[in-house]
Amino acid sequence: MFDSQMPILIVLLVMGAGAKVVTVYRGGEPGTLSRLGPAVLMPGRMQAPSLLVCAVVELVLAGGLLFATAPIFRWGTVGFFAMCTYVLVELRRRRPDAGCGCFGEVSSAPVGIRSIGRTVVLTGMSALSVAAPASGWAATVHPTWLTAAGLAVIALLSPEIEELVDRVRYRAPCEQRPGPTEQVMLSRLRSSGPWRAHQEALTSPEPYDSWRELCWRFFVFTGRDQDDVVFAVHLSGRRPAVRVAVVSNDDSDSLPEYTPVSA
């Protein structure tokens, strides 16, 4: 039981490391690294090295879990995923537009409950591995139904799968795809938690302005205090991430500060 989830940890660590290395060396669109955690929390010149350091740590932990039984690798994996959980919570609070970067550029969607829930589950799996009597090699060669169950849970908590399906279907990054119509996005907004929380503060249920920017559709409403209430709805998913900001008309030169709330 204690070693049943070790194959999942090993595979995800290797996949995460490989994806980060590919993202750094392929480059991608300008500013890609500035939208991926943990690089988003670093100064510009440290963004690529931070992803590479994270990749090296993941490979070392994966190798230790696979071939060794030393506690340092197992407790190190617990600490790594616990730290990932903290970083994702900080990203959601400080940069709600940034992706987790867990699997490189594929993890570019805004950090949501699923991504955070995944790292929490992986932390729990890592804690179970501490008591495993053998190395991860034996568990990898002889997986059990618990391994399959754990893999199913991780798959449900991985928004990257939807992103990969979209890329296969459209073969273009999110910002270059034709998104849903404005009315569809408005309907998704009205079914979200942030809309219900701010609906009473609006003078009208209809926006007076709307536009698309990269992977977001923005809607602007007039608030009862004559402020602008701006909603940003991510284009991906039937229950997309939604951000909201209240912009004072008395301070038109300042940028809105987004409240990290998602549907």
Rounded Cα–Cα distance for residues 99 and 147 (Å): 27
Given a contact cutoff of 8 angstroms between Cβ atoms, the answer to whether 112 and 241 are in contact is: yes
Q: Show the CA angle centred on residue 30, arms to residues 161 and 44, nearest 5°.
A: 100
Cis peptide before 240 (omega within 30 of 0): no
pTM: 0.63
* Residues counted in the chain: 263
Nearest-CA neighbor of 99 among 36, 54, 159?
A: 36
pLDDT in tens, the chain (263 residues): 567 888 999 999 999 888 888 878 775 554 556 566 666 667 667 778 888 888 899 999 999 999 988 889 999 999 999 999 998 888 888 777 777 878 877 777 778 888 899 999 999 999 988 888 878 887 888 878 888 888 999 989 888 887 777 766 665 667 777 777 888 899 889 888 889 888 888 888 899 999 998 889 999 998 888 888 999 998 877 778 888 888 876 654 444 444 444 44
DSSP string, 56-115: HHHHHHHHHHHH---HHHHHHHHHHHHHHHHHHHHHHHH-TTSB--TTGGGG-SBP-HHH
Provide the CB-side half-sphere exposure for 144 (13 A, CA): 10
